[in-house]
Structure 1
Amino acid sequence: MAKVSSEQLGTEPIGRLLIKQAVPASIGILVMSLNVLVDSIFVGNWIGSIAIAAINVVLPVSFFIAALGMAIGIGGSSIISRALGSGDKGKALQTFGNQITLTLMVTISMVVLGLCFVNELIPAFGGKGSIFEPAKIYYTIVLYGVPFLALCMMGNTVIRAEGKPKFAMIAMIIPSVGNLLMDYIFIYIFDWGMHGAAWATTTGYLLCFAYIFYFFLSKNSELKIGLSHFVLKSNILREIGSLGFVTLARQAVTSIIYLLLNNILFNLGGEALVAIYGIIGRMLMFALFPVFGVTQGFLPIAGFNYGAAQYDRVKESIYTAIKYAALVASIVFVGLMVFPEFLTNLFLSDRLDLPEEEIRTNAFVMRHAPTAMRLVFAATPIIALQLIGAAYFQAVGKAVPALLLTLTRQGFFFIPLILLLPNFLGELGVWFSFPIADVLSTIVTGLYLRNEIKTNLEIN
C-alpha cells in the first residue's frame, strides 16, 4: 500500500481527493453495514425474529458507550487535522495521547455502570415480555467488548485525519468479516443461540482493536506518541470535549429515540412492531452507507484546508461533497422504493418448525414492514445537505452550530413528532415522523450553511 502524506489534503484537486477519501470510507461503512444487515439475517433465520428485537433493544446502550470513543475520536481528529494543516505536529501528538487516556477512563467507567444496572436498563429500552431474556444475554456479553469498540472508533477517525483512508477502511472491514465468520461458527455450527451472536460481535471488536493497535505502532502512522502525551492537558480536553460533545449528543439523542420508539411501538403492536423497527434500523445503517462515506471523506479535507486558511478549497469541498452525496442518496432511494418486500423477506425465516408465536410475528412483519420502509426513506434524496452541512461545522472546530445542526433532525423535530403523531395515526404516525423531520432539518441546515459560506468562506 503506497504511503500517503497528510499534506496531500491541501494540494490535490478536491474532486479527486474526495473520491480517494470517500470511496475507502464508503467501502468500510458498507462492509460494517452489511455486517449489521447479514448478522440480523443470520439471527432472524437461525434464532428468530424475537432475537432481532432483543438486539435492537441492546444497541442503544452499547452504541452510546461506544459513541463516547467516537465522540473523543471525532473531536480530537478535528484538532489533529487542523494542527497538521497548520504545521503544529506537537499539538497533534498531544491530542492523540489524550484521546487514548480519555477513551479508556470514560468507557470503562460506563461499562461498570452498565453492568450494575442491567435489569433496569433493558426494560427501559423496550426489552419487555419475551424480549427480556435474550436481550439480557446479548447485552451482558457484548458490553465486555465495548471499550475495545470505543478505542477502535476513536482510532479510526485519527487514521482518517492522517490522510490514510485505506487503512481506516481495512479497520472497518475486519470486525465485520470476523463477526460474520464467528456467527456461522457460534450460532449455526455450535448452536449457541444468543450467546453465540454476542460472542461473535465481541470477537469482531477485539480483532479490529488488534489491527488499529498494529497500525499506530507501524511506520504507516505519522503519530508516534510517548508517555508524556498520555498526560491529560486541560486545554486539549476542553477542545476535544466541545467538539466531541456534538457526536456524543447525537448518539445520546439516538439512544433516547431507540428508548422512545421501542416503547411506543411495543405499546402499539407488541414484539412484532419492535422487530419491524429492528429491520428498518438495520436498513438505515446499510442503505445510507455511501452518503456516510462521503461525509467521512469530507471531514479531514475540510478540517485540513480550514487549518491551512485555504478557504476556497473548503468551499469547493462543501459543494462537491453535497453533489456526490445527493447523487448516491437518490440511487439508494430508488432501490428502497422498488424492493421493500424483498428486503423485508431476507430477515424472516421460512422454516416449517417455527413456534406459533414466531409464525404470527413473521406474518405481521411481512404485512407491515414494506410500507414502513417506504415512509421512513421517503426523503432520502435530500439528506445529503443536512449531513454535510452539520459535518462542516464540526470539521472546522465550530462546536455550537455543529451541535445545533446535528440535533436539529433527531432532537428538535423527530422526538416531538413521534410523541405527537402516533396519537392520531397509530403506527403510521411513527413512520411519517422520519421524512417530515428530514425535510425540516434540511431546510434549517441549508439556510445556516449558506450564511456561513457567504460570511466566512467567500474570497474577496
Structure 2
Amino acid sequence: MKNNHTLKTFMSYVILNMLGMLGISCYILADTYFIANGIGADALTALNLALPIFGLMNGMGLLLGIGSGTRYTILMARNKKKEANQVFSQTIMIGLGIGLVLSIIGLMGARTICGWLGADAVTFNMMNSYLKTILSLAPFFILNHIIICFVRNDKGPKLAMMAMVVGSLINIILDYVFIYSLGMGMFGAAFATGIAPMISIGILSTHFFKEHNSLRFVKCKVQISTIKDSCSLGLSAFVTELSTGIVLLVFNLVILKLAGNVAVAAYGIIANISLVCLALFTGIAQGIQPLMSRYYGDGDMKKVYQVLKYALCLAVGLGVILYIGIYIFANPLAAVFNKEQNLMLAELAIAGMHIYFIGIIFAGINIVGAAYLSAIEETKKGFSVSILRGLVVIVPSVIGLAMLFGLNGVWISFVFTETITACFAIAIMYNGYKVKELTSF
C-alpha cells in the first residue's frame, strides 16, 4: 500500500512537470519552426548561435530556483518555517539583481557577444536583435524559474505546470503573429519568447492567495552563506542547463569550421529536437526533487530509493521510445524546418539524427541521477555527473572525434559522452545505495 501511494504521488508530480517542460520545449521548437520558415535558414543559424546565452540565463534561474527550493523543502520537512521563508525571500532578491545585471549586459554588450559566438556578416544583425531583446527581459526569465520551483516545492505542481503550459502556448501564438502577420523578424521571435515568463509569473502569483500556501515574504538581509548553500544544491541543475549551451557553442564552432552555415542549420534542427527530449527528462528530474527532498528531510530513505527506481525506469523507457520515433520519422522532422527544401540541409540533418539520438537513452539516466544526488545533499557527486557530461568529456570528444571522422564524429561525441557519464552515474548511485542500506542495520 505504501509503495502504491509513493507511485501515485510520483506520477502526479512527474507527469505534471513533464507536461510543463514539454510546453516550454514546444515554444522553443515553435521559435525554430517560425524562424526557419518565416525568416529563413540564415535566421535559424543565428538562433542556434544565440541559444548558449539563452541556456546560460535559464541556468541561472534554475541554479537559484532548484537549489533554494530543495533547501526550502528540507527545512519545511523539519518544521523550520521561518528559515525556509528566509531562503525564499533572499532568493527572490538575488534573482532580481542578477536579472537586472543581465539586462544591462544585453543592452550594452550584445554586439560583442555575437562576435564571440561566431556570428558572421550574414547572421550578425539577426543574432544581435535576438540576443539584445532576450537579455533585456532576463529578470522575468530568472524570476519565473525561481517562483515555479518554489510553488512546486510548496505542493503546487498543478499550478506550476499550468503556468509553464499557458505561457508556452501564448508564446507560440505570438510567434505566429509577430513573425508572419507583423513581419517583426528576429525581434518579434525574441519578444514573443520574453512575454511567456511574464504570463507564467502572473499565473503563479495566484498561489500566494491560496489557503495551503506556506510561502511568505519576510524581512531579511541577503546572507552569502544562505545563497551559497542554496546554489550548491542547485549546481547540478545549473550545469545540466549550462551544458546544453556549452555543447551548442562547441558544436557550432566545430561544425562551422567543418562544413559551414548549412551544417550549422542542420545541427540547429537536431539541437532543437534534442531540447524537447532533454526537457522531458528534466521534467522527470524536477518532478522527483520535491518528493526526494521531503522524504530525505523526514529521514525516510526507503521512499527516496523507491522514487529513484521509478524515475530511472521511466527515463530509460522514454529514451528508447524517443530514439525509435526519431529514427523512423527523421525525414519528415527535417522537412518541417526546411521550407526552402535544401537537399544538403536535409541530408545532413537526417544522417545526424540517426547517430546523435542514440545518446538520448543514456542522457535520461544522467539527468535523473544528478537530480537525485542533489536532492539528498550529495552535491559534489551530483556536480560530478553534471560536469562530466557538460564539459569534461564532451569538449575533448567532439574536437577529437571530429578530427577523426568529420561531421559524423561530432554526432558520435554526444553518444560517447552520455554513455560514459551514465556508467559513472550508475556506479555512484549503486554504491551510495549499498552504503546507506548497510548502515541502516
CA deviation profile, 1:184-218 (whole Å, cap 9, x unmatched): 21111111222221221122222122222343354
| Structure 1 unaligned blocks of 5 or more | 1-9, 351-358
SS for the counterpart of 1:42 is: helix
Q: Which of residues 447, 451, 454 is equivalent to 2:427? A: 447
**Residue deviations 1:121-152, cap 9 Å, x none?**
11221222311111111111121112101100
Residue by residue over 1:133-179, the C-alpha shift from the partner in whole angstroms, topping out at 9 and shown as x without a partner, is: 11111111121112101100111111111121111101111221111
Q: 1:289 to 1:109 in 2, by over 3 A?
A: closer
**CA–CA separation in structure 1 for the residues paired with 2:282 and 2:249:** 24
Match for 1:136 among 128, 132, 141? 128
Equivalent residue, structure 1, for 2:369? 389
Match of 2:414 in 1: 434
The answer as to whether partners of 2:106 and 2:133 remain within 8 angstroms in 1 is no
Match of 1:320 among 310, 333, 337: 310
Separation in 1 of the partners of 2:173 and 2:411? 34
Q: 1:123 aligns with which of 97, 115, 134?
A: 115
CA distance in 2, matches of 1:282, 1:30: 12
Displacement after TM superposition at 1:391 (Å): 0.9
For 2:183, give the aligned amino acid: D
Provide TM-score, normalisation by structure 1.
0.91
Q: Is 1:67–1:247's contact at 8 Å kept on the other side of the alignment?
A: yes
Contact kept, 8 Å, 2:25 with 2:279, in 1: the verdict is: yes
1:401 corresponds to 2:391? no
In structure 1, how many angstroms separate the alpha carbons of the residues matched to 2:127 and 2:392? 30
> Structure 2 vs 1, CA of residues 426 and 345 (structure 1 numbering), >3 Å: closer, same or farther?
same
Deviation at 1:11, TM superposition (A): 9.8
What is the CA–CA distance in structure 2 between the aligned matches of 1:410 and 1:457, rounded to whole Å? Answer: 31
Match of 2:334 in 1: 344
Structure 2 residue aligned with 1:410: 390
Q: CA-to-partner distance for each residue in 1:349-402, whole Å, 9 max, x for gaps? A: 15xxxxxxxx6xx32211110110111111323333222211111111222111
* Residue correspondences, number: 439
Percent same amino acid among aligned pairs?
24
1:426-452 per-residue CA deviation (whole Å, 9 max, x = no partner) reads 111111101111110000111111111
Read off the aligned partner of 1:84 and give its amino acid letter: M
CA shift, 1:80, in A, is: 1.0
Q: Say whether the 8 Å CA contact 1:37–1:282 is kept in structure 2.
A: yes
Structure 2 CA distance for aligned equivalents of residues 252 and 196 of structure 1 = 25
1:172 aligns with 2:164: yes
**Counterpart mapping for 1:51-450 below 5 A:** 51-219=43-211, 221-226=213-218, 228-229=219-220, 231-350=221-340, 362-450=342-430
CA contact (8 A) 1:215 1:221 kept: yes
CA contact (8 A) 1:149 1:209 kept: no
Structure 1 residue identity aligned to 2:380: V
Q: Of 4, 7, 23, which aligns to 1:15?
A: 7
In 2, Cα distance between equivalents of 1:167 and 1:334: 32
Report if aligned partners of 2:64, 2:230 keep a CA contact under 8 Å in 1.
yes
**Structure 1 range deviating more: 252-261 or 322-331:** 252-261
Q: 1: distance between equivalents of 2:284 and 2:243?
A: 23
Q: 2: CA distance between counterparts of 1:55 and 1:196?
A: 13
Tell me, in whole angstroms, the C-alpha distance in 1 between the residues paired with 2:254 and 2:268.
14
1:425 shift after superposition: 1.2
Could you tell me whether the CA contact under 8 Å between 1:312 and 1:457 is conserved in 2?
no
Counterpart-to-counterpart distance in 2, 1:329 and 1:260: 24
**Higher deviation after alignment, 427-436 or 118-127:** 118-127
Deviation of 1:412 (Å) = 1.8
Distance 2:225 2:150 in 1: 19
Q: Tell me, which stretches of 5 or more residues in structure 2 are unaligned?
A: none
TM-score w.r.t. structure 2 length?
Answer: 0.95
Q: Secondary structure at the match of 1:407?
A: helix
- CA-based RMSD: 1.9
SS in 1 for 2:393: helix
Sort the Cα spacing of 1:255 and 1:328 in 2 relative to 1 into closer, same or farther, 3 A.
Answer: closer
Question: Deviations 1:68-96 (Å, cap 9, x if unpaired)?
Answer: 12100011011011112222111211110
Q: Which amino acid aligns with 1:69?
A: G
Contact kept in structure 2, 1:290 and 1:329, CA below 8 Å: no
Aligned equivalents of 1:385 and 1:30: distance in 2?
Answer: 18
Partners of 1:288 and 1:332 within 8 A in 2: no
